[in-house]
Amino acid sequence: MITAVLTPHPAIASAFAAQLDLSKLPNAFGAVTEVYRKGNFVVAVSKDPAAIVAVREEYGPERLYYASFGDSVTSERFTGDVVLPNAFVPYSKTEEAEEEASFLENYENQEDYDFETFGLSIGGVCVSTELPIDDDLLLDIASEYGADVVDKDGCSVVTQGTESDEFVLYPIYGVTGGIVGNGEERISEAVVAKNMAAVFRFLEETFSDETGEEEDVGTEDNDSVTGDGDE
């Protein structure tokens, strides 16, 4: 069973590749600019949301993660936190936005977990916009949508990723800025990406436990993966 990760950010690809001990392949394909692989795990890099179709056709994964950075729109999140949204809404000043929303059924309940060095939010809302993200826009999204994170391509990726029932799509976001509880404190993208890789490992181990599969999802090289659930 193939598990694939698509990301527009090389820093995220590097963190996942290190977590899984993947090797970089010499040849990419289509809109995909970099590919890492070992066994049943594949990590692909592309800034084009349509690359999700190419990854599906090339590898036929059972699970496909879309991993990206995003800005928080709530002070309940901190820089370095990881968010796994269930709902994706395009930013709009009209009522049509809610009608265009996409919903995943990956998680039954919205829950927060406290890991040792960051927080994990399961469920919630991602708002996507092509507009430049500034404080006014973040405040508007916070008041209008009650969202957790904002990005550029999430809605497009989810729309294309749910056109096929051949795999289950799991978007995963690392918070790099926006309205955050730790104010002006900033954490490097490399550290945020490492947190995301730790959550990926946590999810894959959970799936393995549920199905009885034995998958090598890397080694615990970061104490951030030992958090306890806080419901």
Q: Assign residue 56 a region (left: φ > 0; alpha: ψ between -120 and 50; beta: otherwise).
A: alpha
Task: Give dist(CA 28, CA 90) in Å, integer.
Answer: 30
Backbone phi, then psi, for 67, in 5-degree steps? -115, 125
- The three-class DSSP label of residue 86 is coil
- Amino acid letter, residue 82: V
* Prediction pTM value: 0.88
Q: CA 22, 170, 16 angle in degrees (round to 5)?
A: 20
The reported pLDDT for the residue numbered 184 is 65
Domains of the chain, earliest start first: 3-217 (3.40.50.1580)
pLDDT per residue, tens digit, the chain (231 aa), is 899 999 999 999 999 999 999 999 998 888 999 999 999 999 999 999 889 989 999 999 999 999 999 999 988 889 999 999 999 999 987 666 566 788 898 887 788 888 888 999 999 899 999 999 998 999 999 988 889 999 999 898 998 888 777 788 999 999 999 988 877 677 899 999 999 999 999 999 988 766 556 555 554 554 444 334 443
Task: Give dist(CA 161, CA 29) in Å, integer.
Answer: 18
Burial 17-51, CB ≥16 within 10 A → b, else e: bebbebeeeeebeebbbbbbbeebbbbbbbebbeb
- The three-class DSSP label of residue 189 is helix
How is 3-42 classified by DSSP, letter by letter?
EEEEES-HHHHHHHHHHHT-EE-S--BTTB-EEEEETTEE
